[in-house]
Amino acid sequence: MSGLTVGVDVGGTKIAAGVVDEAGKLIASTRRETPATDTHMVLEAIADGARELRAGHDIVGVGIGAAGFVDAGRAKVLFAPNLAWRDEDLRGELSMALDLPVVVENDANAVAWAESRFGAGRDHDDLVAITIGTGVGGGIVSNGRLLRGGFGVAAEIGHITMVPYGRRCGCGLQGCWEQYGSGRALVGEAREIARHSPAFAAGLLAAAGGDPEAITGEMVTAAAQQGDVGALHCFDEIGRWIGLGLAQLAAVLDPSLFVIGGGVSAAGEVLRGRVEETFRANLTGRGHRPVAEVRLAELGWESGMVGAADLARTSDDSAVPGSDQ
């Protein structure tokens, strides 16, 4: 399929939609609040955003990046932790509402695809992208194709058990990776330091008006980039957990590249360097095998839209155009 497509990034708080060309360039975009508890209203918000963009552009298809488990047919959201979707036929309902071809994909898969096509991984055929935000998401590109698994729900890497019977996770299990290596974990560590060692967290407390519970991820990132000792300690902590997780993934998947995206990646080298150090130290067979690069994502907030839009265009086989697959 050639021409302009719309990519929609559906999250728990916002729905971002954009028109994307064949080179991965975002031409126009719009945003809506997510009415997370009303499935019908979420569908209406998605359709409304797509119609707004379609009014000014000749659109040939729509890609939806949804935060949830998407079936192998890329039609239904089987489960969404932050939305009310349960076995929701997004493709069927939106295709009817918009009279356009629609493809549904997991949001982190869309990010991985965008980075592999147009971003940090455009020179690699085998990569793992991880999105570090409130939780930890992932997408795998293997030999130029998205790896979806037998049921469509591969790469839910945030729910790998890192600590048996550890911290309780929103998925219902305990000790999941995202409980230790996410933005939520970063903020939790900062607040705990501020409560128990206020002198160590003086900079963070000053930014938060003296209230540990008012500390945000953005505050921790800004303080770390300015050299604040307490904030840097927080990045030491999550950097170790993320790097350890990458080493486990490398043992199974052997990618040539890891791409780190999501809101926490705004910390830049403060995060990336710590992750890479732990990853290298825990890599099985280190010293006797090639080591994957660890890069920061390049496309930022656009990546979900760009990836979903491109997947709508390449939905026949989800292989990188020009590959031999």
CB atoms within 10 A of CB 45: 21
Q: What percent of the chain has pLDDT over 90?
A: 86
Burial class (CB in 10 A: 0-12, 13-18, 19+), 18: buried
Kindly state the percentage of the chain with pLDDT values over 70.
97
- Indicate if the pLDDT at residue 172 is higher than 90: no
Cα separation of 109 and 154, whole Å? 9
Q: Is the dihedral of CA 39, 45, 48, 54 positive or negative?
A: negative
Tokens 């903020």 correspond to 187
Residue 36 has pLDDT above 80, yes or no: no
Cα dihedral angle (95, 96, 97, 98), rounded to 10 degrees? 50
- pLDDT band for position 2 (50/70/90)? confident
Q: Is the pLDDT of residue 267 over 80?
A: yes
Query: How would residue 84 be classed by pLDDT, with cut points 50, 70 and 90?
Result: confident
Mean pLDDT of 253-265: 96
CATH topology of domain 4-113+302-313: Nucleotidyltransferase; domain 5 (3.30.420)
Which phi and psi (to 5°) does residue 176 adopt?
Answer: -65, 150
**How far apart are alpha carbons 242 and 162 in whole angstroms?**
10
For residue 221, the model assigns a pLDDT of 96
Average pLDDT of 83-106? 93
Is the pLDDT at 319 greater than 70? The verdict is no
- For 197-209, what is the mean pLDDT? 93
| Cα–Cα distance measured from residue 224 to residue 36, given in angstroms and rounded to the nearest whole number | 33
- The predicted model gives 41-70 an average pLDDT of 94
How many Å apart are CA 228 and CA 208, to the nearest integer?
14
Average confidence score pLDDT of the chain: 93
SS3 88: strand
pLDDT above 70 for 325: no
Lowest mean pLDDT among 20-29, 128-137, 226-235, 308-317: 308-317
Cβ-contact 243, 250 below 8 angstroms: no
Q: Is the pLDDT score of 323 beyond 70?
A: no
* The pLDDT of residue 315: 67
Mean pLDDT of 94-123: 96
Q: CA 238 → CA 27, 158, 176, 179, 300, distances in Å?
A: 35, 13, 13, 10, 20
**107: which residues sit within 8 A by CB, 6+ positions away?**
9, 10, 11, 65, 66, 67, 131, 137, 304, 308
102 φ/ψ angles, rounded to the nearest 5 degrees = -130, 135
* Category of 267 on φ-ψ map: left (φ > 0), alpha (ψ -120 to 50) or beta: alpha
Find all residues with CB under 8 Å of 81, minimum gap 6, and list them: 67, 68, 170, 171
User: Environment class of residue 248 by beta-carbon count within 10 Å: exposed (0-12), middle (13-18) or buried (19+)?
Assistant: middle
pLDDT level of residue 103 (50, 70, 90 thresholds): very high
Domain boundaries, the chain: 4-113+302-313, 122-298
CATH topology of domain 122-298: Nucleotidyltransferase; domain 5 (3.30.420)
What pLDDT digit, counting tens, does each position of 285-315 carry? 988 999 999 999 999 999 999 999 999 998 6
Give the angle 77-13-133 at the CA atoms, nearest 5°. 85
pLDDT at 54 over 50: yes
The whole-number pLDDT of residue 210 equals 94
Low-confidence winner among 47-56, 71-80, 277-286, 293-302 (lowest mean pLDDT): 71-80
